Copies of this chain bind each other. A is one copy, B any other.
Amino acid sequence: MASVAVENYLKSMWELGPADVATQELAQHLAVAPASATRMLQRLSERGLVAHTPYRGASLTTTGERKALAVVRRHRLLETFLARTLKLGRDQLHDEAERLEHALSPALEAAIDDYLGNPQRDPHGHPIPGPQGELPPEGDVALGDWPLDRPAKVSQVPDRDVEKLAWLEAQGLVPGRELRLVARDPFDGGVTVKLDGKLLQVAASVADEVRVSGEGAT
């Protein structure tokens, strides 16, 4: 029903939301000219998928969000499926899923979900929306915001940025890994963590994209 372009716009809107998204931000995220984003927002608004206030920004309607979550679900199921079957590394998953997500029938989506045993998270630790878009509130917190000395477990790593992902992988900072914060740079938000007895400097830009939780941490 929805074209590849429409699905991509909706997914971007969801990723940048839920607050009003600026035309320019959306355009940048999709590597498209601002004028193109405006045109599309008008079409999406026409179709009731987006609420657009000219010059002010746009946000997903309930219908739009439901469709966006369907794309996110397919994306994350595919990442999980490719990792499980083909043993692809975390840094190879995103780009493949980015294209395949638009070619998955409901039947195949269900078959994959079934095969994987209804997984709750993808290999980056991102939660997988349910068949109707259900997404339980998760208590994960940005690494930079975790209190000092409290044991934590890595729950989410970024999926888009292959550079960061490779570095995290090399340092062993992957979902499931336990660590503690030993220091926080008060200016730029960078942190020093201890994992496996070793100290590691994590830049603010990276710490922003890694999420942790206290669940199951010793």
Binding site for B on A (CB under 8 A): 81-82, 85-86, 88, 92, 95-96, 99-100, 102-105, 107-108, 111-112, 115
CA–CA, A82 and B108, complex, Å? 9
Residues on B with beta carbons closer than 8 Å to the beta carbon of A96: 105, 107-108
The residues of B that contact A88 with a CB separation of less than 8 Å are 111
In the complex, 21 of the A-B residue pairs with CB atoms within 8 angstroms, ordered by the A residue number, are: A81-B85, A82-B108, A85-B85, A85-B115, A86-B108, A86-B111, A86-B112, A86-B115, A88-B111, A92-B107, A95-B105, A96-B105, A96-B107, A96-B108, A99-B103, A99-B105, A100-B100, A100-B103, A100-B104, A102-B103, A103-B103
Which residues on the B side are within 8 Å of A85 (C-beta)? Answer: 81, 85, 115
Please measure, in the bound complex, the distance between the C-alpha atom of A111 and the C-alpha atom of B86, giving whole angstroms.
7
Chain B residues within 8 Å of A107, by CB: 92, 96
